[in-house]
Every structure is written in C-alpha cells, then in structure tokens.
Amino acid sequence: MEIKAIRGFNDILPDETGKWQFVENTAREVFEGFGFSEIRIPIVERTELFSRGIGEATDIVEKEMYTFTDKSGNSLTLRPEATASMVRAYLEHQMYSFDPAAKLYFIGPMFRYERPQKGRYRQFHQIDAEVFGVGNPMVDAELILMLIHFLKKVGLEQLELQINSLGCRDCRPRYREELKKFLTKISFRLCEDCQRRINTNPLRIFDCKVKTCQEAIADAPKVIDYLCEDCRRHFGKVKEYLGIAGLLFTLNPRMVRGLDYYTRTAFEVVSYQLGSQNAVTGGGRYDNLFQEIGSVDIPGIGFAIGMERLISLMPEGKEFIRYPQLFIAALGEGTFKEAYRWINQLHLQGIRAELDYEGKSLKSQMRRADKLKARYVLILGEEELKRGRAVLRNMNTKSQEEILIDNILEIIKNKIVLD
Ligand code: HAM
C-alpha cells in the first residue's frame, strides 16, 4: 500500500516554496529593521511548560496537544505555539541579566490536534515576534505597527486590526465572577461544552461557534467595562499610540483569545476573505506568564502570524517560481564533456543552469528547455565546437546568435545579468 502523509500535515511543494521564502525573507528584513533578533527553539518541550503556560482549561491543552512519553518516562509535547518556549529560553539562559528588554522572533512549525479544514491544519507554521521586559504601552503599538507593515509588505490588503483589553490579575477575577453569574442565569440556552466552561473557563464561551450560544450571550457583560484604573489607562495609551502610528483599528470587546496567559492588550488581524478561520494573526500582552514559568516578574507582549493563512491571501500574479537561466543542449560525446565543464562553472557562480544528461536529440532537448521555461538555451554541436562557436537562443524573443567559445562563460553571465 502506498504511504501517504498524515491527515492535517502538508507537503509544501517546489512551486509553492518561492512564496514561503519570500514571506520568511521579508519577515526577517522587517523584524531585524525594528531591532528584533532571531531565536531558534526546540520542537519538543516538557508538557508542563505548555500546560502551565497556556492554561489547563484551554482547548489547546485540554484536547489538542501531541503529547507522548519518551523512553525515560518524561511527558513531552510537540510545541503547539512558540511563546512559552521563547519565555523558557529567555529565562533558562538568563538573557535578562544582560538587558531585561529583548526583542525576539521565531519562524517554524507548530502542532495542534485540531479537526483539519481549510486554513486549519495539524502541522502549521507561525512567524512569531515577542518583546520581553517592557511594560510600556508604546511597545504594544510599536509591535502592532511592525506587524501591519510586514503584512502590507507581503501584499496583504483588506485586513482589519481588532483590539481589546483583557484586564489583569486585579480586575479580571471580578469580571469573571460577573460573567459567571450571567452565564449561570442563561445556562439552559448554552451547548454542553459551554455549560461546562461556565466553571472551568467562562471567557472561552465567546469563542464558541454554536449559533444559539452566540445569541444567548449577546448581552453578556464586557471585560472592557470592568478594567481597573491601571488597565484602563494602559489601554487608553495603546489606542493613543496606535493613532500616532497612523493605524486604524476596531474595538472587539468579545475577543478573548484562545490562550490563558493574556493580560491587558489583546489583538487579532482578520481577513474577511478567509471564511470561518479568518484570523491571520493573534497576539497580546502576557504580564504573568514569566511568573507561571519561572517565578520572575517580567512583562511580555507578542504575536504569531499563521503562515498558511497568510500565504493563501497573497495576491496572485507575482512570480515566485525560479526557472533555469540557461539550458545547455549538447549534441555528441565531445560536446557533452565541454558542456559538463561549463555547467559546473556556472553553478559555482550561482547561475541556475540545466543540462540534458540523456544525450537526446536537439528537438527533444529544446522541448525540455521550453517546458522548464529556461530563459536561454546554449546549443553546442560537434561542428560548432570545432569552429570554436556555439549558438545562444533567447527563448523569449526566439532570436539566436552565434557566440565565440573563448570567454563563453563571461558572455553568458553578462547576458543573463543584463536581461
Ligand atoms: P494563536 O491565536 O493560537 O496564538 O495562533 C496565532 C495564529 O496561528 C492564528 O491567528 C492562525 O493564523 C494560526 N493558526 C493557529 N492554529 C492554526 C491551525 N491549526 N492551522 C493553521 N493556522 C493556525 C498563538 O499561537 C500565540 N502564541 C500568539 C502570541 C505570541 N501571543 C503572544 N505572543
């Protein structure tokens, strides 16, 4: 039986990887320009890191983690997100001892055992950026500015930035109680999952996709009305700085995010072109996560962009596939050796060149060059070689010229560079 990839795990094929490279390169360029440095973290961590960091009563920890026991009996998990690992790495290497402020980014695959559908996979990729050690609301807006700038730079349009504040350890418990009271009153209208959530994690009810639940909570209390003075001030400043940065946003008082570590600022960038899985990016502030993981009081804020969703939104028409710059059609044993020498030289100089290894007829080699969309074909016959010449054909204009074999590599390189 043929072996297939696992459900929800995708191959990214060569004609798609050009887009991925473009997105990754643009992220590196933009983020580094904003003062961020790359960090690389392991794919597998101790399960406890995520259950403590993301929260026991979240969907991710309750039902979506790829958890297994290794041969020493340790419970390990394929990372479902990057933030907790980045915090762990920052603490483990005491990066704060040099300077508490750190701006870090990470690009890589994440794993969640979700029901696969369009825009939702079991292995997916994130571009993640985090600022540790700065509680000032200026940073919230600066980070969002970087995100929007990046999304625009890769060609995304028609996006909406939604923001909310989730309060802090002082004010959120009061909100939670009010919400619980409200939900208990209308519990008979809620689905089974939401009825259970009333006690485990009432805020999660806002993410329920069941229509009747959404109708039942239309008048639920809003977290924004329960913020303490400090949180209210922080949120006011974030909005002010977003304005200074020239960014438009929508307030979404029902956005609670799927991970428990958030405090204060929460944001998402959504696209109405995406259907039900419409969030391209999610993020927010998490001023207690460091305490959960390492008992130190350090603030943090960050976001993660879903690369599959982002790439599905990129405008068509931009050319990302790289075709051969040159195809060498060699005819005959003697010419083949010469062509082999040249192609190696061209490769060493970074010219994308192809050679037919099968010794096929000129017609069949030309057909292949055409299929591969080579820009130029160098035709080298025994007769021409004896005369010290070869024919260079421009496959776009269909024009061809005889060129001298002395300095042939220079001639080809110049043509390709100038083209
Ligand atoms: P998240 O909202 O769980 O946040 O994920 C961020 C983004 O990853 C989503 O907006 C979506 O584009 C993409 N994503 C999530 N799950 C899937 C999936 N199953 N298939 C495809 N794409 C998916 C976090 O992960 C937080 N760590 C973000 C963050 C960083 N907050 C602070 N710092």
Q: What is the pLDDT of residues 103-157, one digit of tens each?
A: 999 999 999 999 999 999 999 999 999 999 999 999 999 999 999 999 999 999 8
Residue of 140, 259, 268, 274 best suited for mutating to test ligand 1, as the one with most atoms within 8 Å of CB = 259
Q: Which of 15-19, 72-76, 143-147, 236-240 has the lowest mean pLDDT?
A: 15-19
Q: Is beta strand 123-132 parallel, antiparallel or unpaired with respect to 102-111?
A: antiparallel
Pocket around ligand 1 at a 6 A CB cut-off:
81-83, 112, 114, 119-121, 124, 126, 128, 130, 258-259, 279-284, 302-304, 306, 308-309
Name the closest-CA residue to atom 16, ligand 1. Answer: 120
Report whether 96 contacts 300 (CB < 8 A).
Answer: no
On the question of pLDDT at 407 being above 90, the answer is no
Name the closest-CA residue to atom 11, ligand 1. Answer: 306
On the question of pLDDT at 205 being above 80, the answer is yes
Name the closest-CA residue to atom 15, ligand 1. Answer: 306
Question: What is the average pLDDT score of the chain?
Answer: 94
Supply 245's token pair.
Answer: 């940065």
CA–centroid distance, residue 105 to ligand 1 (Å) = 14
pLDDT at 295: 83
Q: What is the C-alpha end-to-end distance of the chain, expressed in Å?
A: 49
Q: What is the C-alpha separation between 285 and 300, in angstroms, rounded?
A: 6
Q: What is the C-alpha separation between 314 and 24, in angstroms, rounded?
A: 13
Name the closest-CA residue to atom 25, ligand 1. Answer: 81
pLDDT at 316: 80
pTM for the whole structure: 0.93
**DSSP string for 345-396:** HHHHTT--EEE-SS---HHHHHHHHHHTT-SEEEEE-HHHHHTTEEEEEETT
Backbone angles phi, psi at 148, to 5 degrees: -65, -40
Report whether 265 contacts 238 (CB < 8 A).
Answer: yes
What is the pLDDT confidence band of residue 416, given thresholds at 50, 70 and 90? confident
Q: Which atom of ligand 1 is nearest to the CA of 285?
A: 32
Helices assigned H by DSSP within 66-136: 83-92
Name the closest-CA residue to atom 21, ligand 1. Answer: 120
Q: Which amino acid is at 136?
A: N
321-350 pLDDT per residue, tens: 889 999 999 998 889 999 999 999 999 999
pLDDT at 218: 92
Residue range 409-415: average pLDDT?
88
On the question of pLDDT at 17 being above 80, the answer is yes
pLDDT at 332: 86
